[in-house]
Amino acid sequence: MGSQEKKRFIAANWKMHSKPSEALALAFELTDGLEDTNTEVVICAPFTHLDRLNSLKSKGIILGAQNCHFADKGAYTGEISATMLSDLGCQYVIIGHSERRNLDTAESIPLRIEQAIAAGLKVIFCCGEPLHYRKVHQEWEFVLSQLNHDFDKIEASHFPKIVIAYEPIWAIGTGLTASPQQAQEMHKNIRKWAENKFGILDAMQLRILYGGSVKASNSMELAAMHDIDGVLVGGASLIPIEFRGIIRAFS
Ligand code: 13P
């Protein structure tokens, strides 16, 4: 372990769920009674909710967003910049979620990461293979190509500001979870890749999250794996009893 303590990391990805008027009450319910756990809890809410969630800080909950634009400003109707997110009190932004990769070009992902970091945000970077690659045992090759492409030009000094989430596409919202062993194997490969590219200290400090049908009932066994430092949670992050159970499993 490096010099700093590496806190376990639980991130909620609300995707396009809930209403702004319900957001604060939901966030409080999701974390009720768990403010003192020794974990980092981040809620990545839709853009429209962020301003209303600003007071989460007082409860020790960190605010995050689900994407940012690849330019810092300009004539991009309907888009949101990293600077805007930072100004609203966000500390994290998800980049490269598979549900966004379908809509964005691959070339834009490194630019989004750079914009986020330049604006003072930290990044939850998502990677993960489609089912076909898993079936033919090419899941690591697929993830490696995403990592190599998206981090090709990232400055080494920026790497500590990044958390990597491994989210196999076939496990997202399907109820199918990668087994703890499958996730561990992938996380170990990702850490090794980080070591080769950025050095052993950064690799050891790197938080690698698993995402894909995480629930309270499967989080204990995920939390027991050596290279699983936390989770990125979709559906279960909208259900207080589930999300609290997940935080407890990683505490
Ligand atoms: P589910 O937890 O709903 O499978 O979603 C995972 C995810 O995409 C989190 O970013």
Q: What is the predicted pLDDT for the residue at 241?
A: 97
Q: What is the predicted pLDDT for the residue at 96?
A: 98
Q: What is the predicted pLDDT for the residue at 36?
A: 76
Structure tokens at 94: 């998800």
Separation CA 122–CA 161 (nearest Å): 5
φ, ψ for residue 104, nearest 5 deg: -105, 160
167 is known as an active-site residue: yes
- Return the residue whose CA atom lies nearest to atom 7 of ligand 1: 234
This prediction has a pTM of 0.97
Host H or E run for residue 39: strand 39-44
**46 CA to centre of ligand 1 in angstroms:** 15
Sequence ranges of the domains in the chain: 8-249
Q: What is the predicted pLDDT for the residue at 45?
A: 98
Q: Which fold has domain 8-249?
A: TIM Barrel (3.20.20)
Say if residues 110 and 100 touch (Cβ distance below 8 Å).
no
Q: Rounded to an integer, what is the distance from CA 221 to the centroid of its chain?
A: 19
pLDDT, averaged in runs of 10, over the chain (251 residues)? 75 98 97 86 98 92 97 98 98 98 94 98 98 97 98 96 98 91 98 98 98 97 97 98 97 93
132 is known as an active-site residue: no
Structure tokens at 63: 């605010």
